[in-house]
Structure 1
Amino acid sequence: MENLSPEKVDQARDYLSLFDKDGDSTVSVSDIPSILRALGEQFTEAEMSDLIGQIKTENGYVSFDEFLTFYNNCTRPVDPYRDVQLAFSELDRHQTGKISAKVLRHFLVNLGEKLTDEEVDTIFANIEISEDGEIEYRQIINLFTEF
């Protein structure tokens, strides 16, 4: 279940049990759109139709394990750096995907897990800073994912 966090798997099992009308650990394929919506997934009607069309079943029901495999395959991978991206986007007032190197240095040296100037210099040496002093924060996230 590489695309689902353990919390999402537990949440899916909880919702599935709500739709398991007879306690046999299966749910109707017709209930899957409601289950996915309850889990916070947002698909267009066309996407949902395509997804449901991929489910192969003899009797119109899927087991919990079959649903979890399906759910894993139709969701995007868990992005462990999403919170970092959101934090950077808060600094990006104009939603350009860039932040000022000066502002970033200030935050890295003065807030949270404070870094030394030398540590910040090492980070900056591994990323591209534009002529106007801006950094595409995706570079920083990519740098962290390399470790």
Structure 2
Amino acid sequence: MADSPFTPDQIEDFKEAFGLFDRVGDSMVAYNQVADIMRALGQNPQNKEVNEILGNPSADDMANKRLKFDEFLPMLVKADKLLKGTLDDYVEGLRVFDKEGNGTVMGTELRIVLGTLGEKMTEAEIDGLLQGQEDENGSINYEAFVKHILSV
């Protein structure tokens, strides 16, 4: 693809990963696997965005329609171009939980948010994410936390 943001090596890796989702052996995957494949390849689209990229398929199409890698790659390019949050967006989102206005949030509160809102995280994922982030009072400097997350 001429306008692809990906290198030929990345595309080969993507093709290999795509093949791992082929459960039938016909070099195709089901529509309902596209979001998982995109996430496995480092994208983070919302389910709503994946449905739009797929052309808003019916539930029947999601379960039964299949696509080849050559059809999938332009969809991955679209997912890559989706608006991603900036440092300021994430910091602003966490500022809501900064009751004291001192640049910190309680680790326990952040754990609840990560485990219950949006794309819910598991306890193990949350533990890994917050490891070493809490101070002796159980507080987390959320701007430093967001910078850490975005650098990983």
Q: What TM-score, normalized to structure 1?
A: 0.44
Structure with larger RCO (C-alpha < 8 A, sep 6+): 1
Q: What TM-score, normalized to structure 2?
A: 0.43
Structure number, greater radius of gyration: 1
